[in-house]
Structure 1
């Protein structure tokens, strides 16, 4: 470990101990039968619900501390739990039970002319380190997805959510143990010093995959400093483009939902692009609906002129260059009037983060051009960007939304947490 890590020895040893326990547990998890894993998932859900009062009490303490520290409301929304959110965690685990176990799945099978029988089979990744910020639901999602795929989850949450995560993991441990699997299948690193992140992402031989999930600073730090494999989950500067052939009855609900359904998450819309041919008629309607939900608007000069003519400049400011590149994670929306579909795509190419992009139009040719040309993990035609979510895609839950192009892209479910190996059967063949 001395060769792997730099930094304070005591902290290094604390992290190394957790990772070694994870390595030991992964041998059991890798060969655990589907029935036992599903039983563990069910028991985990039951334990979460049974412990909900303790979890909510721990979370209330975290939320109070966050408020006292002056954390923004968007971050507090991500941190806060209630019974409904705990119920959603349990539902996510139950949904995983119903999904096929990918481990052992035969991806390919072929026989070579020399008689070698070659099969390509899905296998667990091993030890998956999840590094994330103040979202306790991620603790359950990551634990459930990892366990179903025979992986060990090492969880490094943020200081703000520590008490919540501790209470959640205590419940998960009880459920896992009841099913006869090692409780070390899910491990929480309780030290929250920034250096622990560096220790984890440089622990070659102890961590098989690292997944950062959080703000731009966290993701960049992991991607730029890791020596273990990383799946990059990017920030979400997501756009909705309302085309000249848009159906307004669809456009307004889509935009309002994409912005306001849960503004603090990465698949919420941050910029609205409106074709000039419909701006004068439709934009005032949209602005009224958005302002009714408390959305502040940062608009280009053309959009401001339209709203001023309609007497709708309350809560509206001129946008700056910075606004087009900002992931607000709050009830703020940038608005730009564009000349054409090409201009909308050019704006997305310049400011987008390869996450989720939407076109609203009844013109099938325009829709197909947008869907083909826009480079993003998920592109939508006439639907809200809020559907970029593992649960909504039928994955049971997600461990993150990948904005990279290697191995995994978009909402990552069970298959994205597996690798593969080739299993070769012979009958005495030797290479000549």
Structure 2
């Protein structure tokens, strides 16, 4: 145990500190306004203030800090994608998560335990070989493993030998892991606030006014502000916010549900996912089994949860780990995934010269938090889109330069 922590624990009296300052009154103008106080918006605020010296920043959050999709995910971090652009991007995200606790001085509980995606058919095994080769070419830790290795990595797994969902092998991504989602958001918020970034919770953007090709004013329910640059990072509400700015985005919203069980003794030491069963599981640091799956098959901008999805996730989890049949569920929740046609995000320029986009994340948003914040901050500070996010430009749909990541999901859609 570090001596500083021991001294702090044995101290008879200590002065508590506020991680996040109270919401201040809105000023008339800021250098940068960020619409969305989730992980991406807060990460961008941190990098703007710490790496680029831009401290006149207002983060505008409709609800409470990181209460949207940042609080409604299953914390998976990985880089085993299909296209070179995505692999390169998420590989850096994994690297940034690895040093985040030290960089922020805030424990985000990053655990690099690896991810195992199961193959129940020879066709899936062939597709895994393609993903493994793409990953190796880009320098990520991913390989195809046989059934024996799957059993070694996850000895409690039901291999269903001879059954409909027999496990023939898997895709082992040793770099995969998890982090505490609220800690990530609060770590970025705390450090950004220390540099003067203002975090305005319970502040709803109601209108965005522009003149020519530039945004001039942002109207909120607490007042109107001017900003030299604006970043949109509003999660499931990105489509609605873009409409306020006067242009459409190729986004459709689908609910994405998950649930968690009562705590158990540790037995699941890696992330396990099955596209056939539309289910993935990971055990949290508190012992809870987090169970997720694919997006709901209908468009809806809602965070309501349903019994149908609970039943489907339970069936998949019980097939993989039958001994969970008497375990109680504690919570169920849903987020709003803003899906693009090619299942890849939209980052960079918009039709307005001083309005930047961080949208269309679908089910990939949390794992991209640090790298998206880093490069969106660089884009705003320099006015140039870095090469690493250039392939994710909005105009790729006009150029038909799509980045198809539909098959890279951990549990299928």
TM bracket (short chain): under 0.3
Using the size of structure 2 for normalisation, the TM-score is 0.26
The structure richer in helix per residue is: 1
Using the size of structure 1 for normalisation, the TM-score is 0.25
